[in-house]
């Protein structure tokens, strides 16, 4: 355990012990074995999202063969898995790499400052035992993209008049009893379509669950178990079967998205046809499951084995598409005049975005304003030295992109070691046109669009959305770049590095 006040300079300080932070720790161990690092976690346990969210039915909405790490096979029979299984998987990965011993729990980072003269970050953290200070050559922010402390809840009129229980899924009470109750779930995203079927089954089954949505969402059913994955595992063994399944699913995700964007009308028709088959005869599919936007303008919601549709067919659940006029003592009154009675209202209304955990950053005393920065390869920010962040895909499994970013990050560290550099800073052309970093129509992104970094209109400043392109750029492309300013505290390095990029060969990590 480092000293209670100061830790000797680390090579890398990872912030966050969730899926990104644990992944970063693995790649540092594997590709940069001489590097010293520690992991700071603000909560009392590892796992990030999968430890925080405890609502009924919580699960992935991507298959675990691509959402899981490339270096650790997913062995469970469920390809779309519940949160408890994912949490176990993450903690097994951390233990296997010996990362448990490097995680400092209950360390809430409150600020980080960069000093160019020393080429070091000074990071301040609050702990139950008092403040601590860490120094590191690099920060890797594996903090996710949302505020862990507070979810998003609109200011509903009459909220204080409701005499029942109001719950946000991000803060689910352990003792909430919904057995035999009338429940209204406000929202239509991944959380809502997970909660509705989960609350209609089992010993805690509600009497009835209504999903109240303002706008429909595209919803598609996928098998919970991947029979092809199971056959590949039986035929080729655990490791090889996993890698083959992973490649299959990466290709399916990529081409499904590409074709949906190219042929939105045909994709909409296919989704609608499947929903008509899955729902009761005469069900108003167009009203409740046919959004006004195109497929993949927002992320498609996956329901394993069609459990949402099954809940609707059973009569234990329904969908209402309308606007809220006000909460009432007994429930919610809609603009149509209908009143939905409820004992429990669940506000599955989304997240509040927060980049790098909301940590204030300064560079040589000047505050970093994220909207004034441009993301470099989705990993670094213009004008900010030795800071790496991890933002995954919005159109595929999050971890696919994070893994490639970690590979590139470790290649960059090795490149700097080879040439004796202490710092690297991306430098963007101030005249370059920019657009939002997360160019996605989801409400939780649009609410925070002006608080996030930007992206440019060309490589390496434009964020790529396809795994094959990212393999070419992040795994196999050169780390040397005219947009990167490398420097050393001992001498003055040229603004543009011209020596050959000698570390361009890919790290031997399976796809």
pLDDT digits (tens, 9 = 90+) for 355-403: 899 999 999 999 999 999 999 999 999 999 999 998 888 788 989 999 9
pLDDT for 125: 98
- Mean pLDDT of the 459-465 span: 88
pLDDT of res. 505? 38
Band of residue 121 on the pLDDT scale cut at 50, 70, 90 = very high
Distance CA 100, CA 91 (A): 8
* Residue 489 tokens, joined: 């505290």
Q: Distance between CA 223 and CA 302 in Å, rounded?
A: 10
Q: Does 278 score more than 90 pLDDT?
A: yes
List, in order, residues 6 or more apart from 258 with CB less than 8 Å away. Answer: 466
- Residue 8 pLDDT > 90, yes or no? no
Distance CA 411, CA 23 (A): 15
Percent of the chain's residues with pLDDT above 70: 93
Cβ atoms of 330 and 158 closer than 8 Å: no
What is the mean pLDDT of the segment spanning 71-90? 97
State pLDDT tens for residues 298-349.
889 999 999 999 999 999 999 999 999 999 999 999 999 999 999 999 999 9
The fold for domain 6-149+352-487 equals: FAD/NAD(P)-binding domain (3.50.50)
Q: What is residue 508's predicted lDDT score, i.e. its pLDDT?
A: 36
Say if residue 1's pLDDT is above 60.
no
Strands 366-367 and 361-363: antiparallel
Reported confidence tier of residue 222, pLDDT bands at 50, 70, 90: very high
Q: What is the pLDDT, as a whole number, of residue 394?
A: 78
Separation CA 129–CA 145 (nearest Å): 28
Confidence of residue 491 (pLDDT cuts 50, 70, 90): low
pLDDT score, position 448: 64
d(CA 472, CA 458): 16
Break the chain into its structural domains and give their ranges. Answer: 6-149+352-487, 159-347
Q: Which letter does DSSP use for residue 366 in this model?
A: E
Report the CATH number of the 159-347 domain.
3.50.50.60
Residue (of 242, 241, 305, 251) closest to 82 by Cα position: 305
Query: CB-based burial of residue 482 (10 Å sphere; 0-12 exposed, 13-18 middle, 19+ buried)?
Result: exposed
pLDDT of amino acid 502: 36
Phi, psi torsion values for 334, nearest 5 degrees:
-95, 165
Highest mean pLDDT among 154-163, 458-467, 485-494: 154-163
User: Are the beta carbons of 114 and 363 closer than 8 angstroms?
Assistant: yes
| DSSP 8-state assignment for residue 202 | S
Reported as a pLDDT band with limits 50, 70 and 90, residue 131 is very high
Mean pLDDT of the chain: 92
Residue 33 carries which DSSP code? T
Q: What is the mean pLDDT of residues 96-121?
A: 97
Contact predicate 480/503, CB 8 Å:
no
Phi-psi region of 187 (alpha: psi -120 to 50; beta: other; left: phi over 0): left
The pLDDT of residue 509 is above 50:
no
Spatial contact of 390 and 402, defined as CB atoms under 8 Å apart: yes
420-448 pLDDT, tens digit per residue, is 999 999 999 999 999 888 766 566 666 76
Give the span between the Cα atoms of 257 and 185, in whole angstroms.
Answer: 29
Tokens for 74? 């997913």
When mean pLDDT is compared over 181-190, 441-450, 469-478, the highest value belongs to: 181-190
Tell me what pLDDT residue 498 has: 38
Q: What is the pLDDT of residue 507?
A: 36
Indicate the range of 134-138, 202-206, 297-301, 374-378 predicted with least confidence.
297-301
Question: Once rounded to an integer, what is the mean pLDDT over residues 217-224?
Answer: 96
pLDDT band at residue 3 using 50, 70 and 90 as cut-offs: very low
H-helix or E-strand containing 19?
helix 19-31
* pLDDT value at residue 335: 98
On the 0-12 / 13-18 / 19+ scale of CB atoms within 10 A, 247 is middle
Q: At residue 276, does pLDDT exceed 60?
A: yes
479-491 average pLDDT score: 90
19 and 51 Cβ atoms separated by less than 8 Å: no
The tokens describing 444, both together, are 């939780």
| Same fold for the pair 6-149+352-487 and 159-347 | yes
Percentages helix, strand, coil for the chain (3-state, rounded to 5) are 30, 25, 45
């Amino acid at each position: 355990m480092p000293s209670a006040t100061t830790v000797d300079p680390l090579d890398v300080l990872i912030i966050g012990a969730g899926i990104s932070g644990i992944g970063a720790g693995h790649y540092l161990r594997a590709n940069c074995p001489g590097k010293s690092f520690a992991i700071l976690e603000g909560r009392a346990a590892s796992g990030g999202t999968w430890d925080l969210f405890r609502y009924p039915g919580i699960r992935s909405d991507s298959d675990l063969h691509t959402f899981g790490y490339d270096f650790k096979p997913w062995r469970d029979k469920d390809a779309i898995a519940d949160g408890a299984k994912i949490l176990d998987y993450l903690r097994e990965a951390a233990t296997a790499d010996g990362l448990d011993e490097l995680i400092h729990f209950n360390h809430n980072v409150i600020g980080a400052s960069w000093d160019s003269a020393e080429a070091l970050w000074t990071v301040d953290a609050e702990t139950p035992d008092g403040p601590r200070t860490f120094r590191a050559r690099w920060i890797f922010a594996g903090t996710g993209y949302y505020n862990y402390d507070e979810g998003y809840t609109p200011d509903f009129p009459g909220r204080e008049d409701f005499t029942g229980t109001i719950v946000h899924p991000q803060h689910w009470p352990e003792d909430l009893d919904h057995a035999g109750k009338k429940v209204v779930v406000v929202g239509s995203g991944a959380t809502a379509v997970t909660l509705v079927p989960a609350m209609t089954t089992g010993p805690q089954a509600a009497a009835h669950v209504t999903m109240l949505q303002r706008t429909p969402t595209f919803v598609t059913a996928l098998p919970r178990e991947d029979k092809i994955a199971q056959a590949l595992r039986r035929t080729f063994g655990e490791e090889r079967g996993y890698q083959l399944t992973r490649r299959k699913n990466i290709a399916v995700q990529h081409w499904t998205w590409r074709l949906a964007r190219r042929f939105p009308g045909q994709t909409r028709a296919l989704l609608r046809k499947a929903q008509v088959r899955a729902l009761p005869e005469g069900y108003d599919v167009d009203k409740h499951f046919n959004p006004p936007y195109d497929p993949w303008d927002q992320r498609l919601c996956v329901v394993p084995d069609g459990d949402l549709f099954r809940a609707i067919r059973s009569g234990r659940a329904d969908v209402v598409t309308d606007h809220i006029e006000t909460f009432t003592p007994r429930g919610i009154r809609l603009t149509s005049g209908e009143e939905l009675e409820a004992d429990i209202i669940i506000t599955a209304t989304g997240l509040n975005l927060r980049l790098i955990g909301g940590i204030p950053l300064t560079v040589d005393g000047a505050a970093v304003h994220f909207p004034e920065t441009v993301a470099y390869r989705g990993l670094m920010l213009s004008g900010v030295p030795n800071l790496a962040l991890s933002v995954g895909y919005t159109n595929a499994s999050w971890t696919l992109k994070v893994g490639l970013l970690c590979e590139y990050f470790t290649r960059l560290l090795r490149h700097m070691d080879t040439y004796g550099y202490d710092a690297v800073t991306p430098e963007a052309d101030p005249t370059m046109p920019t657009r939002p970093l997360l160019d996605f129509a989801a409400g939780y992104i649009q609410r925070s669009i002006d608080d996030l970094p930007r992206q440019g209109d060309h490589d390496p400043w434009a964020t790529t959305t396809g795994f094959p392109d990212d393999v070419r750029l992040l795994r196999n492309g050169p780390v040397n770049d005219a947009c990167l300013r490398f420097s050393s505290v001992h001498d003055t390095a040229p603004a543009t590095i011209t020596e050959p990029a000698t570390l361009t060969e890919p790290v031997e990590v399976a796809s």
